[in-house]
């Protein structure tokens, strides 16, 4: 086994695990970051979406050896400060994207939400705007069963600055 070094939410980490271990399991079990979820294990639902050097990937399909030297970003890294697990964050501590989801009602059961937020984050970081078709395209790899996507799209458009999808 080799030790793999990379950063998670800007914090350097080193894990000594088999190279084909899924990044999803490294995050959830080895690093105790359970925010990233497993919905299917086959790269179809996007619940495990994280950012790898800024690009959205399904962590269930990424072996940890591919991540060496890269920057991984998860939902825990979105808010300004990582909240304590036993003290729910106040709405003021959320980043603008998370706050937009809260206001617009973009999360219902919440299981797709971490992956959805990361896909939205990548879209906004790449300069994405409030255009509805572009937002639908950006989150096409993230399945949601609760919302019908309507308020997720509104939330992302809100975070993009306009308030309403164009």
Q: Is residue 28 within 8 Å of 36, Cβ to Cβ?
A: yes
Give residue 163's region: left, alpha or beta (phi > 0; psi -120 to 50). Answer: left
Least distance (Å) between residue 22 CB and other proteins: 12
Residue closer to other proteins (CB basis): 68 or 126: 126
Using the rule CB under 8 A, is 157 a contact of other proteins? Answer: no
For residue 49, the Cα-to-chain-centroid distance in whole angstroms is 5
Task: Count the residues of the shown chain that bind other proteins, applying the rule CB under 8 A.
Answer: 62
Q: Is residue 93 within 8 Å of 83, Cβ to Cβ?
A: yes
Contacting other proteins (CB under 8 A), which of 26, 51, 78, 159?
A: 78
Can you list the alpha helix ranges (DSSP code H) found in 70-112?
96-104
- Structural tokens at position 110: 């919440």
Residue closer to other proteins (CB basis): 54 or 110: 110
Paired residues of 14 in beta bridges = 5
What span, in angstroms and rounded, lies between the C-alpha atoms of 49 and 38? 9
Residue closer to other proteins (CB basis): 17 or 146: 146
By CB under 8 A, the residues from 4 to 63 that bind other proteins are: 28, 32-42, 44-45, 47
**Binding positions for other proteins, rule: CB under 8 A:** 28, 32-42, 44-45, 47, 74-76, 78-79, 83, 85, 88-91, 93-94, 98, 101-105, 107-114, 117, 132, 135-137, 139-153
């Amino acid at each position: 086994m080799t030790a793999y070094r990379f950063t998670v939410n800007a914090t350097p980490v080193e894990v000594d695990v088999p190279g084909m271990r899924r990044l999803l399991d490294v995050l959830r079990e080895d690093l105790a970051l359970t925010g990233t979820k497993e919905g299917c294990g086959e790269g179809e639902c996007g619940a495990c979406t994280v950012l790898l050097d800024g690009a959205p990937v399904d962590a269930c399909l990424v072996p940890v050896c591919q991540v060496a030297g890269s920057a991984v970003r998860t939902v825990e890294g979105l808010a300004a400060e990582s909240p304590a697990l036993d003290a729910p964050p106040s709405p003021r501590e959320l980043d603008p994207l998370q706050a937009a989801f809260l206001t617009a009602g973009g999360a219902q059961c919440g299981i797709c939400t971490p992956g959805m937020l990361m896909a939205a984050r990548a879209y906004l970081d790449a300069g994405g705007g409030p255009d509805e078709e572009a937002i639908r395209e950006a989150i096409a790899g993230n399945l949601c069963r609760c919302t019908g996507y309507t308020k997720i799209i509104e939330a992302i458009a809100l975070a993009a600055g306009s308030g309403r999808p164009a």
